[in-house]
């Protein structure tokens, strides 16, 4: 129950940030069409439920599953690695389905597969059925999470998708804050198995029909320029195309490796930096609010600042945070400054990671490019928690900081490379 109270406080803090910023769901009240609001609402709920009942779920139900299944706690969390590996392996093929069938049908299928996976997990009796369930969940995640949702937006808004995609990213960032207390209450009232059956029912009976029937119609490519008010991207030449794809994949993988690696070890990292256990917990919770605030700020400015420029800014902020911790730890002030800089930088680059394919490729290529990038990105996500935990355990704080600074420096180089490529391509025509 303490998790529910703690997460509820995080949710309220995030809500206050939304109010303070006066965040618009669209560029202005005058342009907020019912179809745009419906698109954001359905996809935000889809991603909140999708991530909240899968990747975020073991943090709350893991101990109960450990007790009933007789599996070690680390084995319970190994299910997340199985999930992310399956998403990574399946993503390139899902990209072709997105092009052929459209995001609505693919996401509807994903909702059905997620429902099956959660039902299998609720029925698990040992390691074989447990990991089989996570494999099914990962397969469903490739159909329903992140890339298909972003593709659904691009299908409907073309090159004008950046603000809507950023808006959805803000709400998706609240998945743990919302579903940790919900799952905690469900476990207390019904037990973890019934809670997972209810989650499966929500995917099957709520999200599947919403994906299939309630999303606004797709926009035709011919109407893209007039609808978005933006010029279409100039197709990249063969060599520039491969360079852009490689840099985007590298940048996305580096950020996934860093953020998913730091997140599970953040509390211990802060303790070793000089924070008391109580302060470390408080700062760890504050990091989520700071990240949401940074996403909000990025969303407000997204039409005025290019995606690559935002990536440069985010990488510099991240690098400053790790440099501060390297130079000033251990002390009481260093952890607070680090959380402020890390939370802001991570919030910015999370949105940048999503938008980069749209900055260099056409809307028709978005699904295929994003799916290819997802292969490396989700593979990095799968190994990140174990890699950073091993570094922290064997090399300590300095080891983690050295690796993190190196990642930030390489990511900064990737952004500079993309900026140079973008400037070269502008000679032939505008990029989005």
Contact 174, 48 (CB under 8 A): yes
Give the span between the Cα atoms of 161 and 137, in whole angstroms: 28
Complete DSSP assignment for 93-106: HHHHHHHHH-HHHH
Percent of the residues in the chain that have a pLDDT greater than 70, as a whole number:
86
Residue keyed to tokens 């070793």: 272
In this structure, the dihedral spanned by the alpha carbons of residues 86, 123, 176 and 91, taken in order and rounded to 10 degrees, is 20
* Residue pair 129/138 in contact by the 8 Å Cβ criterion: no
Tell me the CA distances in angstroms from 252 to 55, 255, 408, 420, one per residue in order.
19, 5, 12, 18
Contact 248, 356 (CB under 8 A): yes
**49 band by pLDDT with thresholds 50, 70 and 90:** very high
Residue with tokens 């993988």: 253
| Mean pLDDT of all residues in 62-68 | 94
Residue 105 has pLDDT above 50, yes or no: yes
pLDDT at 374: 92
Hey, do 2-228 and 238-426 end up sharing a CATH topology, with the first three levels equal?
Answer: yes
Q: What is the mean pLDDT of residues 313-341?
A: 90
Are 256 and 191 spatial neighbours (Cβ–Cβ below 8 Å)? no
Neighbours of 31 (CB within 10 A): 9
**Residue 175's pLDDT band (boundaries 50, 70, 90)?**
confident
Ordered alpha helix ranges (H), 203-304? 208-209, 224-228, 238-272, 277-301
Residues 91, 375 contacting (CB under 8 angstroms): yes
Helix axes 175-190, 58-69, angle to 10 degrees: 30
pTM of the entire structure? 0.81
Q: Tokens standing for 169?
A: 């990213």
* pLDDT range class, residue 425, cuts 50, 70, 90: low
* Residue 302, φ and ψ in degrees, nearest 5: -60, -30
Q: ∠ at Cα 405 (401, 409), nearest 5°?
A: 175
CATH no., domain 2-228: 1.20.1250.20
Q: Give the 3-state DSSP-derived string for 15-78, with helices as H, strands as E and coil as C.
A: HHHHHHHCCCCCCCHHHCCHHHHHHHHHHHHHHHHHHHCCCCCHHHHHHHHHHHHCCCHHHHHH
Quick one: DSSP state of residue 124? -
Domain positions in the chain are 2-228, 238-426
Q: 238-426: what fold?
A: Growth Hormone; Chain: A; (1.20.1250)
Quick: pLDDT tens for 12-39: 344 443 333 333 333 344 455 788 899 9
């Amino acid at each position: 129950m303490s998790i529910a109270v703690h997460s509820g406080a995080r949710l309220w803090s995030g809500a206050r940030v939304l109010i303070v910023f006066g965040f618009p769901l669209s560029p202005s009240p005058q342009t907020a069409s019912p179809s745009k609001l419906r698109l954001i609402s359905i996809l935000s709920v889809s991603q909140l439920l999708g991530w909240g009942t899968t990747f975020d779920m073991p943090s709350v139900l893991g101990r109960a599953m450990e007790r009933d299944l007789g599996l070690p706690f680390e084995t319970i969390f190994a299910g997340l690695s199985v999930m992310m590996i399956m998403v990574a392996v399946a993503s390139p093929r899902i990209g072709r389905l997105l092009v052929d069938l459209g995001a609505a049908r693919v996401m509807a299928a994903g909702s059905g597969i997620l429902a099956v996976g959660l039902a299998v997990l609720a029925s698990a009796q040992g390691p074989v059925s447990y990991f089989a369930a996570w494999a099914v969940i990962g397969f469903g995640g490739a159909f329903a999470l992140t890339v298909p949702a972003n593709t659904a937006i691009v299908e409907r808004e073309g090159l004008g998708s950046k603000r809507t995609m950023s808006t959805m990213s803000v709400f998706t960032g609240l998945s743990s804050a919302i579903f940790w207390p919900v799952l905690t209450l469900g476990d207390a009232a019904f037990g973890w198995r019934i809670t997972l059956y209810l989650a499966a029912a929500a995917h099957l009976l709520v999200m599947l029909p919403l994906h299939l029937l309630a999303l606004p119609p797709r926009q035709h490519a011919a109407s893209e320029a007039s609808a978005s008010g933006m010029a279409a991207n100039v197709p990249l030449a063969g060599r520039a195309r491969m360079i852009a794809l490689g840099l985007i994949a590298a940048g996305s993988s580096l950020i996934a490796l860093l953020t998913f690696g730091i997140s599970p070890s953040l509390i211990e990292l802060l303790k070793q930096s000089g924070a008391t256990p109580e302060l470390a917990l408080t700062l760890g919770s504050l990091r989520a609010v700071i990240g949401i605030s940074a996403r909000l700020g990025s969303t407000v400015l997204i039409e005025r600042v290019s995606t690559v420029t935002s990536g440069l800014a985010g990488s510099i902020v991240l690098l400053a945070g790790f440099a501060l911790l390297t130079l000033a730890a251990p002390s009481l002030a260093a952890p607070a400054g680090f959380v402020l800089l890390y939370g802001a930088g991570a919030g910015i680059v999370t949105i940048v990671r999503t938008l980069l394919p749209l900055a260099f490729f056409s809307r028709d290529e978005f699904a295929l490019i994003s799916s290819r990038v997802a292969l490396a990105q989700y593979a990095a996500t799968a190994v990140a928690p174990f890699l950073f935990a091993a570094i922290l355990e064997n090399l300590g704080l300095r080891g983690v900081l050295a690796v993190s600074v190196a990642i930030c420096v390489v990511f900064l180089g990737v952004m500079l490379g993309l900026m140079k490529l973008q400037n070269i391509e502008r000679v032939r025509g505008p990029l989005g």
